[in-house]
Structure 1
Amino acid sequence: MSSHTQRIATSPDELPTLEETLEKSGLEFMRDVLEGRHSGPPIGAALNYWLDEVEEGRVVFRGAPKFEYTNPMGTVHGGWYGTLLDSCMACAVMTRVPRGSVYTTLEYKVNILRPIPLETEVRAIGTAQHTGRSTGVAVGEIRGADDDRLYATGSTTCIVMRMDRG
């Protein structure tokens, strides 16, 4: 699915409520975002990336850096790499979070290997390595969409929280 067909939230009331989120497993929720039943997060629109693939334990985002995302030297800011990797890795963990639970990033690490040329479409591939009752661990890569060139890698630890509905 391309960025043109995904719904992106433009106000807080367009995002799913906590109750709606808790009614589904993380995999079901992520599939709903991919298929447009839930709005995607505004950060994707702001930084020009979108959800492209979802399966259990694996999520792929696509995107392309714009001039607005450069640092004073004219190269893509490290925050763009970090945000893209945080999204793909944490969402990979989310695909293994059970119904009634939520997650958030505890920490992540980014290794930038080479600069991404502006307007170059990349794929950010997140793969969950472990998701338990309280933590999830994932790795990620940013690769060229056309040439599979490796631009950056990352790793994350997420906290998984069971939400009490009482």
Structure 2
Amino acid sequence: MPNDLKLTHADAAQMDGIRFLHGIIDGTFPGPSIAGTLGFGLVRAEPGEVVFEGQVPESALNPFGFAHGGWFGAILDSALGCAVQSRLKAGQMYTTLEYKINIIRPLQPNGKQMRATGRALHVGRTTGVAESVLCGIDDGKTYAIGTTTCSIFAIPGV
């Protein structure tokens, strides 16, 4: 995906959340830089549900050689927030108010493909609530789960 793509607040304000996410998937808009840094990306988005896939890079390990908790947090927070984003109206955006993750099993950087599926449970006027599960694509095991509450507000400056 080209790094020179720019999206202004005015551009974003003209589309609903699902259209915005589809633009990231098809390369019309830039994806979040943290996803590229941490080896994952958005691969599917439907109203109320999104999927991120990737694998833990060597650069995201704890001193024991396993995925750092921050990697789990980043992929789960991305799926959680985008699940809420997928249900927003034009002119709205969100930010994470709080999130919680539970890491169920360790993950080594052995090329294992992972999938984080986020589902919006509630998207109202001022808050959104979502849950996410991180599973191994090949083994089907659950590695972590997360929940979030997001603040929803009008895109500033438009």
Q: Give the TM-score of the pair, scaled to structure 1.
A: 0.90
Structure 1 segments (4+ residues) deviating >6 Å = none
Could you say which residue in structure 1 is the equivalent of 2:71? 80
Q: Displacement, 1:15?
A: 3.4
Note the aligned Cα RMSD (angstroms): 1.4
Task: Provide the rounded CA distance (Å) in 1 between the counterparts of 2:15 and 2:79.
Answer: 19
Alignment pair present for 1:144 and 2:140: no
Identity %: 39
Alignment counterpart, residue 123 of structure 1, candidates 106, 115, 125: 115
Q: 1:57 to 1:41 in 2, by over 3 A?
A: same
Alignment of 1:1-166 (within 5 A): 7=1, 10=3, 14-118=5-109, 119-163=111-155
- SS at the partner of 1:43? helix
Task: Provide the rounded CA distance (Å) in 2 between the counterparts of 1:31 and 1:92.
Answer: 12
Structure with the larger RCO, 1 or 2 (CA within 8 Å, 6+ apart): 2
2:83 and 2:118 in contact (8 A); partners too: yes
2:65 and 2:108 in contact (8 A); partners too: no
Q: Displacement, 1:31?
A: 0.8
- SS at the partner of 2:34? helix
Task: Provide the rounded CA distance (Å) in 2 between the counterparts of 1:58 and 1:84.
Answer: 14
Which residue type is aligned with residue 133 of structure 1? R
Deviation string 1:55-112 (CA, Å, 9 cap, x unpaired) is: 0000000010022111111111000000000000100000011101111100100100
Q: Which runs of 5+ in 2 are unaligned?
A: none
Q: Which runs of 5+ in 1 are unaligned?
A: 1-6
Give the length in aligned residue pairs. Answer: 157
- SS at the partner of 1:40? coil
Deviation string 1:103-131 (CA, Å, 9 cap, x unpaired) is: 11001001000012212110000000000
